[in-house]
A and B are shown apart, each in its own frame.
Chain A
Amino acid sequence: MTFLPIILWTDGVIFALVLIAGLAIRQIRRSPQLRDAWRKVFAKPIGFATFVALGFFGVIGIVDSLHYRPALPAEPGVEKQYSGEVLSALDALLAPLRLNTEKTYSAPLATRLFARETVEFEGGGQARIFPRLVFGGAHLASEDEWVSDVLKRVSVGLLVGGVLTGLLWLSVRRAAMRESPRASSADGLHASASEPEPAWRAAVLTMGALLVVSAVIISLASGYHVFGTDKVGQDVLYLTIKSVRTALVIGTLTTLVMLPFAVALGILAGYLGGWVDDAIQYLYTVLNSIPGVLLIAAAVLMMQVVIDTHPEWFSTAAERADARLLALCVILGVTSWTGLCRLLRGETLKLRELEYVQAARAFGVGTVTILHRHVLPNVMHIVVISLVMDFSGLVLAEAVLSYVGIGVDPNTISFGTMINAARMELARDPMVWWSLVAAFVVMFLLVLAANLFADVVRDVFDPRRV
């Protein structure tokens, strides 16, 4: 093998998450009630569109989670060795972006460095000029061609993206036709009220927009730094794409960590009452009353000490950084389960008094069974809602934590570390705005999609809503 697959801790959890998601989908397909609810989500244009956008980010994140260590060139008489550097499938795909570094800042699509440098001419003498980039626009024979070249690349991108979108639209139509031949002919006249049609048009439009933008970026990226380069000449586009995984990990793993706590403790407290309730209430009031940032700061520092005192646990830098990321998720999870727990406790208190639960109890059904059969399914909507609602908040929190200095490992590429580094760049003249803007825009898109999706999910699942 030319590479050694590596499963980092967070990778493992992500794969587990994908598996859980798969199981959940199977469960949903089985239960008519849930299937109905989700159908409603996808019937809303915003619901489906944001789902597609989130899926797009999700795919980036998953591809970025397939880690490996490349093999070093074989040498005679030596056992096969692997590089100490851990890469991901995404790194392999983006190898040109990752490896084509400049000396320092360059503006988006620039052909020259952002800072002047003294260059010595061969014939003697020197001048202070903006030197040409090593990679950006290096294929141009003369910089006069820049405009036409950029336009050409953009139009190629638009064309490819457009064609792909068209193909997608056709295939969706065909698939839809095959599934219900009448639906397309009569435009949903026959679709029953209980089974609303998915909003295919919004989904395809979103996917199309993503495809077109990606195609344009890919087309440009083969010759330029689309979002410019940062202080040490790394491609900002590469950094932003890599940040997506970190954001997703923090957004999803944290909720995954806190979920068992919140659900188990919340339901137990609500259902059993008595001293169990008192103890659990005590626990979450204590945790809740400590100002969040301080609790997180203390825990992060503590965990750092643990990581530092056991360097032997981690054979590569990536594993260290990954351990810190996972620990951050755990800490965020431990500090944020209290809200959901309280909600669930309240809901269970109500459910406990319902007739069928009372009846089940009277028939001597075991507590575990009651909780599993009757209580849990009836609080699931709260869990789903808070899951999607928390996601965006956590992604935003990471940026602030990095500012305070208690965020992810400085080696980890994340929106937080990008924004933190970019704060200084705004003070330059002329301003270096691109890394900040790139990080903000991509983060904004991710969070906006998550928020809008969460809104739709809540509308559908919350029975009390108008």
Chain B
Amino acid sequence: MFGYIVRRALYALPILLGVNLLTFALFFVVNTPDDMARMQLGAKRVTPEAIENWKAERGYDKPRFYNDKAFGVSKFTDTIFYDKSLKMFAFEFGAADDGRDIAEEIRSRMVPSLAIALPTFLLGLYVTVSLALLLVFFRQTALDFSGVVLCVAMMSVSSLFYIIGGQWLVAKIWQLVPISGYTGGLDGARFLILPVLVSVVAGIGANTRWYRTIFLEEVSRDYVRTARAKGLSELRVLFRHVLKNAMIPVLTGVVVVIPLLFMGSLLVESFFGIPGLGSYTIDAINAQDFSVVRAMVFIGSLLYIVGLLLTDISYTLVDPRVRLE
């Protein structure tokens, strides 16, 4: 197992390198260092000298991949790619274009993002799995059919609508919770209720339908019939056998997203004024601050790879037959 993990971790390196190269190439076509400087220096009274200065100070005046003028190793290390992209492997994200430290920013924004994403994830999982089991229990009845249609209908509504509608109804008309905002600590709970609720509701349609499909597949297996024939109650069959055996397909979908919870949600955070990583990313896109975007891409892909690894490990925990070689 340990060997397997090490091997997978090593395998992640070329992938991260690929991600790095790709984003670096993409972003530098869009955004030349001159553009960055202009974006940061504002629209009023900007002189070419100021731009040159800005670039030199932040190291954007170097060549991109290969430095002719340098010697030895620094032919490769004295370049923008090395400075801005490769250093991320050592978790040195550097400063954002506005001069603030990205790592610090990420640390402080992780908490609000998780405060929304984790409850959403857990509550969402609980609600959708129970709903799906309910539908499976009543399979091939009108209840199941209308449930599926309802799920599809809920899937067909744009997520923006859930947010706007939820804010309008719960916070404006009923005045049950603050419309937006965030504070740390227990007091913050009141700010989290609505965004969590909205995100859970928005996810019900797609997820319930997905779990239902998985459970239905299990229900039709032979062992379920045997269990039922043995005289086990239907509920017991569902919870003891079906749920347990459906774990692998469920885990495949679920575990991968757990690390990505850190990344936060772009829309929800913006609308509810939550200072998380999602709104950080949106701000960075809008301000075309690509140092931040690059760092977020790197972290995102790292977390994705961690997620894949966790999925594999979780298989062994659920099903002892699975061995990682």
Cα distance A451–B26 when bound, in Å? 34
Decide: A448 and B153 in contact? CB cutoff 8 A: yes
Please tell me if A373 contacts chain B, counting CB pairs below 8 Å: no
Residue of A nearest to B29 (CB): A302
Decide: A399 and B160 in contact? CB cutoff 8 A: yes
Decide: A291 and B300 in contact? CB cutoff 8 A: yes
Task: Pick from A55-63, A103-111, A215-223, A293-301 the stretch touching chain B.
Answer: A293-301
A-side contacts of B260, CB under 8 Å: 291
Tell me the B292-314 residues at the A interface (CB within 8 Å): 293, 296-297, 300-301, 304-305
Decide: B220 and A466 in contact? CB cutoff 8 A: yes
Tell me the A399-444 residues at the B interface (CB within 8 Å): 399-400, 403-406, 415, 419, 423, 426, 436, 440, 443-444
Please tell me if B158 contacts chain A, counting CB pairs below 8 Å: yes
Please tell me if A392 contacts chain B, counting CB pairs below 8 Å: yes
**When A305-B29, A403-B160, A466-B217 are in contact, do A291 and B168 touch as well, CB less than 8 Å?**
no
Task: Pick from A35-43, A282-290, A352-360 the stretch touching chain B.
Answer: A282-290
A-side contacts of B305, CB under 8 Å: 285, 289
Least CB distance from A273 to B in Å reads 17
B-side contacts of A301, CB under 8 Å: 30-31, 288
The answer, among A288, A294, A305, for a CB contact under 8 Å with B296, is: A294
Tell me the B106-165 residues at the A interface (CB within 8 Å): 148-149, 152-153, 155-161, 164
B-side contacts of A293, CB under 8 Å: 266, 281
Decide: A444 and B157 in contact? CB cutoff 8 A: yes
Cα distance A406–B296 when bound, in Å? 18
Cα distance A60–B37 when bound, in Å? 47
Residue of A nearest to B288 (CB): A301
The answer, among B14, B158, B285, for a CB contact under 8 Å with A396, is: B158
Decide: A291 and B297 in contact? CB cutoff 8 A: yes
Please tell me if B10 contacts chain A, counting CB pairs below 8 Å: no
Tell me the A437-466 residues at the B interface (CB within 8 Å): 440, 443-444, 447-448, 451-452, 455, 464-466
Residue of B nearest to A406 (CB): B285
The answer, among B15, B149, B152, B267, for a CB contact under 8 Å with A282, is: B15
Task: Pick from B16-24, B63-71, B81-89 the stretch touching chain A.
Answer: B16-24
Least CB distance from B240 to A in Å reads 20
**When A399-B160, A464-B217 are in contact, do A302 and B301 touch as well, CB less than 8 Å?**
no
Decide: B267 and A305 in contact? CB cutoff 8 A: no
Please tell me if B182 contacts chain A, counting CB pairs below 8 Å: no
Least CB distance from A422 to B in Å reads 9
Residue of A nearest to B27 (CB): A298
Least CB distance from B182 to A in Å reads 21
Residue of B nearest to A291 (CB): B300
A-side contacts of B31, CB under 8 Å: 301
The answer, among B26, B267, B282, B301, for a CB contact under 8 Å with A299, is: B26
Please tell me if B286 contacts chain A, counting CB pairs below 8 Å: yes
Please tell me if B263 contacts chain A, counting CB pairs below 8 Å: yes
Please tell me if B216 contacts chain A, counting CB pairs below 8 Å: yes
What number of A residues sit within 8 Å (CB to CB) of B? 41
A-side contacts of B22, CB under 8 Å: 286, 290
Decide: A288 and B304 in contact? CB cutoff 8 A: yes
The answer, among A285, A294, A305, for a CB contact under 8 Å with B281, is: A294
Tell me the A356-411 residues at the B interface (CB within 8 Å): 392, 396, 399-400, 403-406
Least CB distance from A435 to B in Å reads 13
Cα distance A443–B159 when bound, in Å? 12
Decide: A290 and B297 in contact? CB cutoff 8 A: yes
B-side contacts of A290, CB under 8 Å: 19, 22-23, 297, 300-301
The answer, among A400, A406, A465, A466, for a CB contact under 8 Å with B267, is: A400
The answer, among B149, B161, B219, B263, for a CB contact under 8 Å with A291, is: B263
Cα distance A399–B14 when bound, in Å? 34
Cα distance A423–B167 when bound, in Å? 12
Cα distance A294–B281 when bound, in Å? 8
Cα distance A66–B159 when bound, in Å? 32
Q: Which of A290, A301, A444 is the most central at the interface, judged by chain B CB atoms within 10 Å of its CB? A: A290
B-side contacts of A415, CB under 8 Å: 158
B-side contacts of A465, CB under 8 Å: 216-217
Decide: A455 and B148 in contact? CB cutoff 8 A: yes
Decide: B297 and A294 in contact? CB cutoff 8 A: yes
Residue of B nearest to A448 (CB): B156
Decide: A423 and B301 in contact? CB cutoff 8 A: no
Least CB distance from A3 to B in Å reads 36
A-side contacts of B288, CB under 8 Å: 301
B-side contacts of A400, CB under 8 Å: 158-160, 267
Contact string against A for B residues 19-50, beta-carbon threshold 8 Å, 1 for contact and 0 otherwise:
10011001101110000000000000000000
Cα distance A423–B159 when bound, in Å? 13
Decide: A396 and B300 in contact? CB cutoff 8 A: no
Least CB distance from A31 to B in Å reads 27
A-side contacts of B164, CB under 8 Å: 423, 426, 436
Cα distance A337–B15 when bound, in Å? 18
The 7 closest A-B pairs by CB, nearest first: A289-B301, A447-B156, A291-B300, A289-B304, A286-B18, A298-B26, A448-B156
Residues of B within 8 A of A (CB): 14-15, 18-19, 22-23, 26-27, 29-31, 148-149, 152-153, 155-161, 164, 168, 216-217, 219-220, 260, 263, 266-267, 281-282, 285-286, 288, 293, 296-297, 300-301, 304-305
15 contacts between A and B (CB under 8 A): A286-B18, A289-B15, A290-B23, A290-B300, A291-B301, A293-B266, A295-B297, A399-B160, A404-B266, A423-B164, A440-B161, A444-B157, A448-B152, A452-B149, A452-B152
